[in-house]
Amino acid sequence: MAENTVKVNISFRSILEAVSLLETSEKKELWQLLEAELFPEEEYSLEDIADIQTARADYEVGDYMTFDQYRLQRSSKSP
């Protein structure tokens, strides 16, 4: 059976706006899809995969620092 295809021109801005409306679980699913497209798993070592999983787990429980927090912390340590 022939496969039907449709090509649609969607602006990048429209995609960004649509993503902002997604639920958190949908954004995570999209993130995983994009990650798989950008970084095929065969490029990762087992150590890399473990590090990524650890970082995701840390992020999920709020164990992270924003860039602004990092900059503030770094500027307060400067002489």
| Chain segment 30-77, per-residue pLDDT in tens | 988 888 888 776 667 778 888 988 999 999 999 989 999 999 988 887
State whether residue 26 is helix, strand or coil: helix
79 pLDDT band, cuts 50/70/90, is: low
Question: Number of C-alpha atoms within 13 angstroms, CB side, residue 44?
Answer: 14
Query: How many CB atoms neighbour CB 28 within 10 A?
Result: 13
Type of residue numbered 18: A
| Per-residue pLDDT, 34 | 87
Per-residue tokens: 51: 């590090």
| Per-residue pLDDT, 68 | 92
| Per-residue pLDDT, 33 | 86
State whether residue 4 is helix, strand or coil: coil
DSSP of 22-49:
S-HHHHHHHHHHHHHHHS-GGGS-HHHH
